A and B are shown apart, each in its own frame.
Chain A
């Protein structure tokens, strides 16, 4: 089992890289959506999965990133991919500013506050805040991204852009998970009092997790803006945050493979059953309840890192 797993992952990666060669444009587009949600969910996983902070306003950070990119691109003609770092930075700073006063709140209260933040951001966008967001219609005419002189236009081309970002994210977040920083976040999730007692600056790490996760959402927002060329507040409503929250919880909070698997299931499966599209959320809700009753740790639970309690208990340090 332990040896079978890396092999399966490599096989899957090879299959994925070759996918655009034998899938049609629509199927590739579904994969692109899965990739975008995967990116967003990996960012949220840092906040909700690794650090255990209930954030249900992730769509707000996504929106800040997407709108930053769109405004810079349409008003100042900055190439869309160049805005990536800037929209990440804006979303991250926004998250820090928002989270600073509330990050100490107990779990479910943080959840409510982040829902509130998400709604306020959406309402602000609808009300054309700063006169720059285009109100309920949003912003259109965002230019196509260009990479090494190639204009990215077809779904197949976007596929490699998006999944390239996902691959990079997986690599970076795996490194992060095994670092001192990642272990500190896990401590925080498991036992905040003990973590603080062992000299972990809880406020700092919580904020860092928020900022980093939100920055990732912001950059995913840029990719979204580039892919759609038009964005509007409705793309960032409360249900987006719920779906992302669900992906992380169902996949197994804190497990990168689990989160990606859940992204495939939650975003990909409904595409297979399009005739039942209206019952999609009904099934999601039911799955959430059933999952919590029978398997609250998610499909692939976290644990198994080098210094995790699970591994140590097994005597494999």
Chain B
């Protein structure tokens, strides 16, 4: 029971991270019908920027842990958002009217470029977050021990998801995003500047992805320039699982996938951990391509 509970909470923490990344995939897909393959790499940039800012500015020394990390999160989110906007401008906007294949290949190219630029800048080795700044305390919940960091990760991701959900559902700009996702042409006729909506989506998604990257750095302590690929694929699986294009779907899918993976690794086989997510992806696309709450993705005449 103890083991199960530990794996469950660990799965929720990882799942929260998947969900944050998945939101970026799903929002872009909703508006542009494009799989942004470079999104996973923006996530990695979040982790690396976080590390650089953390070590160079020593925020946690000046401001204390809570405020320091908060400022760090905001800075990383802002920087990665700008990166996302540049990516959209350089790699996707010129291809808005092109066939799907061109955009997909461009996205892959951008992903390869970003990943290797990071490798040339930082080197191919694992980078380590300083371990003396993080709280190592554990909480005692009904006799079960929980690392504080894990709780913080879950809380932070849920908080960000809730904020995004309210933004999309309750504000005028959120309504514009939803309208552009349903029908770009009609949205344009209603006076919505679709280009700005797309830009906004490329700011919001990468901001959340960057925050997720920082969380991975803080949670696991080590990061690598290729990790965006694995996390990206898993987050994408989460987005499909929940139904791509569907924002609550990405949240549910992320948490679910995190838990499935953690329990699968614990009770089936740790060596096959990475294969589990891919298996879920393939099964979902075969059995229910719409995902749990989403749009249909298979062509049928």
Contact = CB atoms under 8 A, between A and B. Distances in A.
Interface in B109-155: 109-117, 119-120
A285 B289 CA distance: 30
10 contacts: A104-B298, A108-B100, A112-B285, A116-B233, A120-B275, A249-B101, A279-B116, A281-B115, A282-B112, A289-B106
A285 B100 contact: no
Given A108-B35, A238-B229, A54 B113 contact: no
Given A105-B289, A108-B100, A124-B275, A285 B109 contact: yes
A285 B114 contact: yes
Interface residues of A, number: 43
Contacts, number: 133
Contact of A288 (B94, B108, B115, B289): B108
B108 A242 contact: yes
Interface of B: 34-35, 90-91, 94-95, 98-106, 108-117, 119-120, 229, 233, 236, 240, 269, 271-272, 274-275, 278-279, 281-282, 285-286, 289, 297-301
A130 to B, nearest CB: 14
A119 B275 contact: yes
Interface string A108-149: 110111011101100110110000000000000000000000
A interface, over-half SS: helix
Contacts of A284: 109, 112
A109 B297 CA distance: 8
Contacts of B103: 292
Interface of A: 52, 54, 101-102, 104-109, 111-113, 115-117, 119-120, 123-124, 126-127, 192-193, 196, 238, 242, 245, 249, 278-279, 281-282, 284-289, 291-293, 296
Contacts of A286: 109, 113
Nearest to B94: A293
B interface, over-half SS: helix
Given A115-B233, A116-B278, A293-B91, 18 more contacts: A54-B101, A104-B300, A105-B289, A105-B297, A106-B298, A108-B104, A192-B299, A196-B301, A282-B113, A282-B120, A285-B113, A286-B109, A287-B109, A288-B113, A289-B91, A289-B106, A291-B109, A292-B102
Contacts of A117: 278, 282
A51 to B, nearest CB: 13
Given A120-B278, A296-B98, A288 B105 contact: yes
B301 A289 contact: no
Contacts of B91: 289, 293
Contact of B285 (A109, A124, A293): A109
B120 A278 contact: yes
A104 B286 CA distance: 10
Contacts of B102: 292, 296
Give 5 closest A-B pairs by Cβ, nearest first: A288-B109, A285-B113, A285-B112, A116-B278, A282-B116
A306 to B, nearest CB: 24
A245 B281 CA distance: 21
A311 B99 CA distance: 22
Contacts of A291: 105, 109
A239 to B, nearest CB: 9
Contacts of B112: 242, 281-282, 284-285, 288
B232 to A, nearest CB: 11
A102 B286 contact: yes
Given A285-B113, A289-B106, A116 B274 contact: no
